[in-house]
Structure 1
Amino acid sequence: MEILKLTEKNIQDEHICCAISDKKCADGYQKKKDWLKTEFKNGYNFQKVDVRGKVFIEYVPIESSWLPLVGKNFMVINCFWVSGQFKGHGNGKKLLQQCIKDSKEKGMDGIVAISSDKKRPFMTDPKFLKYQGFEIVDEAPPFFKLWGIKTNPKAEFPKIMESAKSGTCPDKKGITAYYSNTCPFTDYYTNQVLREYAEKKNIPLTINHISSKADGQKMPIPWIINSVFYKGELVSLEMKVERHLDKLI
C-alpha cells in the first residue's frame, strides 16, 4: 500500500480519513479541508496510506505549529492515527518513517509529539512512540508528555511553553470548551452536542474557537484539538463528554 501526500491540488478529490461517512460532521469535515489548504502553505503535511480508512499522519515544522511549544528546527506531529483492520501491519511505522524522512530532507533536528502517560483517545499511543525510540522531554499537568527523537544529536529539544503548564483554565464558572478545526469532529460535538447538554443541565457554557497560531499558543494546556473544563478543571479531551461531566456535576 502506497503513501499518498495530500496537496492543494488533490485534497478536494481525496478523503481525509476521519468522519468519512459521518453526515453529522459534514460541515466540520469541510472546515478541516479548508484549514489544511491554508496550512499547506506553511509547510503542513498530511500523509496517508492510500486506503479508505483512518491510516494517516499529520506534521508541521515547529515554526508553523499551533501548539504552545518553544523551540526551533523540529518537526511536530499533530495527529497520528491507525485504526481498525489496518492496525498490526506496520502502517504506523511506515507513516512515521515518512515523517522522519521528510524531516531529514529538510535538515531538521528531530521530531516531537504531544501525548500522555498512557493511551488516550485522539492522542498518539505513547507506547508506540517509546518503541520507536522517542523519549519524554517535557511534561505538563495533569498528564501531558512531550515526546521527542533527535536526528541531530547536538540539538536541543523543544519545550512546552510555561503558560501551557497550568493544567487548568482561567474561567472557573461552569463549562469551558476549547476547539479548533484541526479535527472534523470538533465543530459538531462542541457547538451542537455540548451546547445542548449545557442548556439541558442549565450550566453556563463558554466556547473558545482556536482559529490561529496565536490562539493555540495561548492555551493553558499543550493541546488544541478539543478540550473541556468544568469550573477550571480539565474534564476530557474527547468529543463525547457527557458521561465525564455527569460524574462531576
Structure 2
Amino acid sequence: MDGHFIDPTPETLADEHLCCIIRSKKPHPGAEAKRRWLADRLQEGHVFRKLQAKATVFIEYAPLETAWVPIEGDNYLYLYCLWVDSAHKGQGYGRALMEHCLADARAQGRSGACMLGAEKQKSWSSDQSFAGRYGFRAVDATPQGYRLLAHAFDGTVPRFAESAKRGTIEEERLTIYYDAQCPYVWQSLQTVRKYCEAQGVPFVLIEVDTLEEAKALPCVFNDYAVFYHGRFETVNLLDTAYLKRILKK
C-alpha cells in the first residue's frame, strides 16, 4: 500500500482539501462550511484522517460524548464516515483507516466504536458489510429501519436516544435538518430550494448548530435528515429525482 495519511489540525486545516469535494481555484461553499465546522470539532477530539493526496480517502470519527448524533453511551467513539473512492479501492486504504480507528479507541481506553447502519445499505453511509468484517454488530434499531452498529471491547453497548426512534414531528411541510459537516449538504439544499421555490412547494430548512440540538433530534442523523407530512423519510441527501418521489407521497 503506497501513500501517507495525515491528520489535519486547526492550524493546518486551511491548507488541506477535504476529500469529498476536491479543492479548485474557486472556493466551494460546502467545503468552506465544513472547514469552519471541522476547525471547531477538532478541538473536541474529533479526528479527520485523510490520504495525503487529492483523493477521496478518509475516515472521520469523534468521542460519542461530543458527536453530533442522537446516540447515547459512555466511552465510545462514533464513526461518522469511512470513504475510499473507486480509484483507490483494493489498495488497503479502507483497512488501514478502520484499523487506525479501532486502535485509537483501544489506546484511549474506550469501550468500543459505533456507527450508523440500516437494514439495507444506504447511499452516503459507510459500507456495513466492510464494518462487519471488523466486528461491528447491530446493538439497537429504530422503527424506521435504521440500526446502530457497534464493535464492543468490554460488553457495554451504546443506544439510540429515545427521541431518535420517534421519527415524527408536528411540522407537515417538507422539513430538512442539517449541519455543515458534509460538503455535499450545501449542494443538496440548493437543489431543494430551487425546485421547491419553482414549484411552490412549502419547505423548512433547520440548521443543527449545537451539540445539544443534535443529541435531541427526533430521528437518526449523521448530518442530514428529511421529514415530510410529519414523518421521517431518510438521511440520504436529496437530488431532484429523490425529492420528487418524496413529494408524491
> Could you tell me the TM-score, scaled by structure 2's length?
0.92
Q: Taking structure 1 as reference, are residues 88 and 106 closer, same or farther at Cα in structure 2, changes over 3 Å only? A: same
SS in 1 for 2:126: coil
Q: Taking structure 1 as reference, are residues 26 and 98 closer, same or farther at Cα in structure 2, changes over 3 Å only? A: same
Please, which of 114, 119, 123 is the counterpart of residue 116 of structure 2?
114
Map of 1:123 onto structure 2: 125
Map of 1:218 onto structure 2: 216
Please list the CA deviations of residues 214-234 of structure 1 after superposition, one character each: whole Å capped at 9, or x if unmatched.
111121112141222221233
Is contact 1:117-1:126 (8 Å) kept?
no
- The yes-or-no answer on 1:199 pairing with 2:197 is yes
Please report how far the alpha carbon of residue 185 of structure 1 lies from its aligned counterpart in structure 2 after TM superposition: 1.6
Which stretches in structure 2 are left out of the alignment for 5+ residues? none
Map of 1:26 onto structure 2: 28
Larger CA deviation: 35-44 vs 22-31: 22-31
Map of 1:242 onto structure 2: 240
SS in 1 for 2:166: coil
- The yes-or-no answer on 1:8 pairing with 2:7 is no
Rounded to whole Å, the distance in 2 between the matches of 1:25 and 1:164 is 35
* Matched AA of 2:169: C
Alignment of 1:1-249 (within 5 A): 1-21=3-23, 26-151=28-153, 153=154, 155-172=155-172, 174-190=173-189, 192-247=190-245, 248-249=247-248
Please report how far the alpha carbon of residue 89 of structure 1 lies from its aligned counterpart in structure 2 after TM superposition: 2.2
Deviation above 3 Å: which 4+ runs of structure 1? 21-25
* Matched AA of 2:188: Y
User: Alignment identity in percent?
Assistant: 29
Q: Taking structure 1 as reference, are residues 141 and 70 closer, same or farther at Cα in structure 2, changes over 3 Å only? A: same
Please list the CA deviations of residues 137-162 of structure 1 after superposition, one character each: whole Å capped at 9, or x if unmatched.
001131211000122x2x41110001
Please report how far the alpha carbon of residue 205 of structure 1 lies from its aligned counterpart in structure 2 after TM superposition: 0.6
Please report how far the alpha carbon of residue 24 of structure 1 lies from its aligned counterpart in structure 2 after TM superposition: 9.0
Please list the CA deviations of residues 154-194 of structure 1 after superposition, one character each: whole Å capped at 9, or x if unmatched.
x411100011002333312x21111100111212321x221
Rounded to whole Å, the distance in 1 between the matches of 2:184 and 2:27 is 6
Rounded to whole Å, the distance in 2 between the matches of 1:25 and 1:127 is 35
Which stretches in structure 1 are left out of the alignment for 5+ residues? none
Rounded to whole Å, the distance in 1 between the matches of 2:119 and 2:25 is 33
Q: Taking structure 1 as reference, are residues 222 and 238 closer, same or farther at Cα in structure 2, changes over 3 Å only? A: closer
Is contact 1:216-1:224 (8 Å) kept?
no
Rounded to whole Å, the distance in 2 between the matches of 1:223 and 1:13 is 29
Please report how far the alpha carbon of residue 195 of structure 1 lies from its aligned counterpart in structure 2 after TM superposition: 1.2
* Matched AA of 2:159: K
Rounded to whole Å, the distance in 2 between the matches of 1:207 and 1:60 is 25
Please list the CA deviations of residues 35-65 of structure 1 after superposition, one character each: whole Å capped at 9, or x if unmatched.
1110111110001122211111111111111
Q: Taking structure 1 as reference, are residues 12 and 22 closer, same or farther at Cα in structure 2, changes over 3 Å only? A: closer
Please report how far the alpha carbon of residue 25 of structure 1 lies from its aligned counterpart in structure 2 after TM superposition: 7.6
State the number of aligned residues.
Answer: 245
SS in 1 for 2:14: coil
SS in 2 for 1:8: coil
